[in-house]
């Protein structure tokens, strides 16, 4: 039994799922579900279809190079059954999965850095330019003269751990 990768979306194909298509030049295309199969029949290029792993890797959305990917390389030589080896492999798979997903998350987080400040900046700019959509220009002027922004300092008493009521 072997877990294959879908040719279109690169997800794992578990036994009993999907369709394999054998082309006349003996190249085998494996698909995980009919969605991928139908896209293939439509002659779509997975590198251009946004939800596939191929697109995400190509456009830098997902991690491309990492040491954890080396563990998952396809090996064609069958290994002789060794109980210790199997046990260690199963344990290693769990650890490697955890490490890889953690690294992928940090990759995406780094990619999204600065997004929040960008959004707030754009929102402020839009507010400046498009305020006439919300308030009439005349009302704005009247409001400005009425409210003189006098800064009031308010002392906030922080509850220290000792003073907080015990639960």
Binding site for another protein (CB under 8 A): 15-24
CB of 128 to another protein, least distance (A): 59
CB of 33 to another protein, least distance (A): 11
Query: Which of 36, 63 has the CB closer to another protein?
Result: 36
CB of 19 to another protein, least distance (A): 5
* Helix, strand or coil, per DSSP, at residue 4: strand
Q: What is the Cβ-side half-sphere exposure of residue 13, based on CA atoms within 13 angstroms?
A: 22
Query: Which of 13, 63 has the CB closer to another protein?
Result: 13
CB of 112 to another protein, least distance (A): 40
Strands 19-22 and 12-13: unpaired
CB of 57 to another protein, least distance (A): 27
Query: Which of 30, 107 has the CB closer to another protein?
Result: 30
Query: Which of 16, 137 has the CB closer to another protein?
Result: 16
Query: Which of 21, 69 has the CB closer to another protein?
Result: 21
């Amino acid at each position: 039994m072997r877990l294959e990768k879908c040719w279109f979306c690169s997800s794992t194909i578990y036994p009993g799922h999907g369709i394999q298509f054998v082309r006349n030049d003996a190249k085998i295309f494996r698909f995980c579900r009919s969605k991928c199969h139908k896209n293939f029949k439509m002659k779509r290029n997975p590198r251009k279809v946004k939800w596939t792993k191929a697109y995400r890797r190509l456009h830098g959305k997902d991690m491309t190079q990492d040491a954890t990917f080396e563990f998952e390389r396809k090996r064609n030589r069958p290994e002789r059954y060794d109980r210790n080896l199997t046990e260690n492999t199963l344990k290693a798979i769990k650890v490697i999965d955890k490490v890889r997903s953690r690294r992928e998350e940090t990759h995406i987080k780094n990619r999204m850095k600065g997004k929040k400040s960008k959004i707030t900046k754009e929102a402020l700019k839009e507010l400046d330019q498009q305020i006439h959509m919300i308030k009439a220009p005349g009302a704005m002027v009247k409001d400005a003269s009425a409210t003189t922004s006098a800064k009031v300092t308010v002392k906030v008493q922080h509850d220290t751990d000792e003073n907080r009521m015990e639960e």
